[in-house]
């Protein structure tokens, strides 16, 4: 790459960051190029500060940027012409291969010599794979807490959305079905009391409440952690009510609010005394229906249940409580990691009793398997 080729340098640097797992798109690349043009860095330290300010949005991303920055700019001298588009800068280019893109290191040119020997810059970015992307296809049960935390950035890209519901509050709408009499009379003052134009309104739409019930028994503990992290990163606890259950029901909405995912999950483990205990799905559903569901929390809500369906109590109670819940909730989505197997059949236990009342059943056993879950929460898919 010739010295001063800012566009090529930014493109190569952005591609290297993206391959290393940092979500760098054209928008961030444009901000980085604009910062370099305006600030005109003269040293690699100044260029590094520009990169941090424009290409990262969280301190956890600094480590990836620092590693790739060192790899890409290791052979660059502190020459201003290397970092910005300088029309007067000339020099030879030396190609260095790095995976799918080619970049070039700068070369120095002395007035006393016709041309200095080319300097090849080694960029070992091709061997730096994205750890998060490699983990995306792995089952949540095989991930360590540290590996699960590495998926936070990818989970933040997901959008956990629920279908809208009509509220009693109204909003002005030119083509609304109802006439807003008060607004019409107020506007009639401008035309001598004659209602020349009818003002209309319609009910305001708001997203439905999301209520998550996560099984934290021994077999489901890793999946529950993944779902709690997903709700924290993608939805935010301000839009979701979160409960956990094993042998008892525990509300964690306030515990998970306004803190980092790692801290939130640690607090969740402390707040739920039955973490990694046995499973009593029917009793937990009854406690939710009696204490929260029929009081309004589940009315018209999207209920997400995360469990493999193993019931140590009476499976008939699961059916009874699911029937009650289905009469209150707008939609029930069940996450069962065991359904990833094509041979799975809900023939016995709590899953067999709950199956008729589920609007959708998905596996959601890995990050790449979350798309059916997100579609089910939005009401775009149903259980077949």
Query: At residue 210, what are phi and psi to the nearest 5 degrees?
Result: -105, 125
User: Quick one: pLDDT band at residue 117, thresholds 50, 70, 90?
Assistant: very low
The reported pLDDT for the residue numbered 317 is 94
Of 92 and 230, the structure prediction assigns the larger pLDDT to 230
pLDDT value at residue 104:
37
Binned at pLDDT 50, 70 and 90, residue 28 comes out as confident
**Mean pLDDT, rounded, of the chain:** 78
As a whole number of angstroms, the distance between CA 15 and CA 353 comes to 50
pLDDT of residue 292: 94
Q: How confident is the model at residue 336 (pLDDT cuts 50, 70, 90)?
A: very high
Q: Is the pTM of this model over 0.85?
A: no
Cα atoms in the Cβ-side hemisphere of radius 13 Å centred on 286: 14
Which of 161, 156, 178 shows the shortest CA–CA distance to 169? 178
pLDDT at 108 over 80: no
Rounded percentage of the chain residues whose pLDDT exceeds 70: 77
User: What's the confidence (pLDDT) of residue 114?
Assistant: 39
Among the listed residues 23, 19, 37, 28, the one whose alpha carbon sits nearest the alpha carbon of residue 123: 19
pLDDT class for 127, splitting at 50, 70, 90?
very low
Highest mean pLDDT: which range of 41-50, 89-98, 141-150, 303-312: 303-312
Under the banding of pLDDT at 50, 70 and 90, the label for residue 277 is low
pLDDT at residue number 60: 79
139-156 mean pLDDT: 86
Length of the chain in terms of residues written:
384
Provide the pLDDT for residue 352: 93
Q: What confidence tens digit (pLDDT) does each residue in 208-225 have?
A: 999 999 998 877 888 988
- Distance of alpha carbon 254 from alpha carbon 291, whole angstroms: 17
């Amino acid at each position: 790459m010739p010295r001063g080729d800012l566009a090529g340098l930014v493109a190569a640097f952005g591609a290297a960051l993206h391959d290393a797992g940092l979500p760098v798109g054209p928008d961030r690349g444009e901000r980085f190029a604009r910062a370099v043009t305006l600030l005109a860095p003269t040293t690699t330290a100044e260029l590094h500060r520009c990169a941090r300010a424009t290409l990262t949005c969280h301190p956890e991303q600094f480590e990836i940027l620092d590693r790739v920055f060192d790899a890409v700019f290791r052979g660059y001298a502190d020459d201003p012409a290397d970092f910005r588009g300088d029309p007067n800068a000339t020099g030879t280019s030396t190609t260095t291969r790095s995976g799918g893109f080619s970049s070039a290191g700068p070369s120095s040119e002395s007035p006393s010599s016709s041309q200095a020997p080319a300097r090849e810059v080694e960029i070992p970015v091709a061997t730096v794979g994205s750890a998060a992307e490699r983990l995306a296809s792995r089952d949540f049960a095989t991930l360590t807490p540290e590996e699960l935390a590495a998926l936070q950035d990818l989970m933040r890209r997901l959008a956990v959305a629920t279908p809208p519901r009509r509220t009693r509050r109204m909003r002005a709408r030119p083509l609304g079905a109802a006439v807003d009499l008060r607004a019409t009379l107020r506007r009639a003052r401008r035309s001598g009391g004659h209602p020349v134009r009818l003002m209309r309104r319609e009910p305001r739409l708001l997203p439905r409440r999301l209520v998550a019930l996560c099984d934290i028994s021994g077999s489901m503990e890793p999946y529950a952690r993944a779902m709690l992290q997903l709700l924290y990163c993608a939805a935010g606890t301000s839009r979701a009510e979160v409960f956990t259950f094993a042998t008892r029901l525990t509300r964690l909405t306030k515990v998970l609010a306004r803190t980092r995912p790692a801290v939130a999950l640690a607090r969740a483990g402390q707040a739920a005394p039955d973490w990694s205990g046995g499973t009593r799905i029917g009793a937990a559903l009854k406690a939710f229906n009696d204490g929260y569901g029929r009081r309004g929390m589940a009315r018209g809500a999207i209920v997400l249940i995360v469990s493999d369906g193993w019931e140590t109590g009476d499976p008939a109670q699961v059916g009874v409580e699911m029937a009650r819940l289905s009469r209150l909730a707008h939609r029930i989505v069940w996450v069962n990691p065991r359904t990833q197997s094509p041979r799975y059949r809900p023939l016995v236990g709590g899953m067999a009793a709950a199956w008729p009342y589920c609007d959708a059943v998905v596996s959601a056993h890995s990050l790449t398997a979350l798309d059916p879950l997100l579609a089910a929460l939005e009401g775009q898919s149903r259980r077949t």
